[in-house]
Structure 1
Amino acid sequence: MSRIPALDPAQVDPKAKPLLDAVQKSIGMTPNLYKVAAQSPAALEGLLGLSGALAKGRLNARLWEAIALAVAEVNGCDYCLSAHTAIGKSLGLSDSDIGAARHGHTGNPKDAAIIGFARTVVHNRGLVSDTDLAQLRKVGFNDGEIVEAVAHVVVNIFTNYLNHVAGTDIDFPITHAHVVAAA
């Protein structure tokens, strides 16, 4: 049960209403994550702003969904695993692709490198090695793409943590993490 409630979009702060309306219009639903974030219009605006900016970035949608799945698995966030599994499937990711991404793998060595890097960033709280960066550059990622990958990790950490704190009710077909986040 939710510890911070998802707000009714019809009754949110006037600053949050157009933001939730835009989510509804864009994806045809207003996920509980955004209704919880609407408790703080500033946080909701920040989340949507960063997510919107990253959607225009260099990493393609399938790859950022794979990063989201990897981060959610490391953080043990069932809400985000459920949401990104559904989104990933809508983008053509197979069950096998989704399972591999959750564990930092993929059939494409370049994609596997950035997904594994995302997991390393989460595990090591951003303290990556020179070797980690050299491996990404070796497979063809430039510094701008590396920065963008870190931004994807950050936005997903925010949503993972918000869902943990809030106990957000899952409004997608449920997928459970294989790992449990440390207490």
Structure 2
Amino acid sequence: MSRIPTPATIEEAPEASRPILETIQKQIGSVPNIFRLVSNSPAALNGIASLQGALGKGKLAPATRERIALAMAEANGCDYCLSAHTFTGAKFAKLDEAEIASNRRGTSNDAKAAAAVEFARALTTARGSVAPGEIVKVRDAGYSDAEIVEIIAQVALNTFTNYVNEALDTEIDFPRIDRLAA
């Protein structure tokens, strides 16, 4: 059970959060617990939904965003996000088991995607203070300046959701995935 109440239905959520939850329901057919839990703060829910929506219209491929989310979940030890993104990575981004395993280890079987995932992992480890060479590596792999900024934005979004889920012990509503052995 989560450490703060999770509205069981859209109607139980704060009124200002309901339109966002209804949109999520229409888009994916359900409202995952992360969104229901965050709906306790309409401002926070609007923030993650807005950033997620904006990045969805950006230059970075959806599969790359999922790869980054998987790497972040493993690096930050977020059981909820690890379970959610393993499911969504396979179902929506069409990542296979080998790719998901690579992403969780902070890399990719695809050379270009590996640069993005490794950069995301470096950002996490260094808390943003990456060496200039890290930017050069991701740019040399073929990422534009816009995509580099979007990788950083994806890391920020995933860090927020990782922290929310771990701090508040969000109940996992996806097939549970265990973290890799250290």
TM-score, normalised via structure 2 length: 0.96
Gaps of 5+ in 2: none
Greater mean deviation of Cα atoms: 53-62 or 102-111: 102-111
Once the two structures are superposed, what CA deviation does each residue of 1:60-98 show, in whole Å capped at 9, x if it has no partner? 111100000001110000100101011011121111110
1:6 and 2:14 matched: no
Q: What secondary structure, in the 3-state scheme, does the structure 2 residue paired with 1:2 have?
A: coil
- Percent of counterpart pairs with the same letter? 43
Contact 1:16–1:38, Cα closer than 8 Å, also in 2 = yes
Structure 1: runs of 5 or more not aligned: none
| Residue 169 in structure 1 maps to residue 175 in structure 2 | no
Secondary structure (helix, strand or coil) at the match of 1:140 reads coil
Match for residue 141 of structure 2? 139
How many residues were matched structurally? 180
CA distance in 2, matches of 1:30, 1:82: 15
Instruction: Tell me how large the CA RMSD over aligned residues is.
Output: 1.1
Higher relative contact order (CA 8 A, sep 6+): 1
- Distance in 2 (CA, whole Å) between partners of 1:123 and 1:4 is 29
Instruction: Report the Cα distance in structure 2 between the residues aligned to 1:155 and 1:179, rounded to whole angstroms.
Output: 25
1:94-141 CA distance string (max 9 Å, x none): 111100011122222111011000001011100000111111111111
- 1:53-64 alignment runs, 5 A limit: 53-64=54-65
Q: Name the TM-score, length of structure 1 as normaliser.
A: 0.95
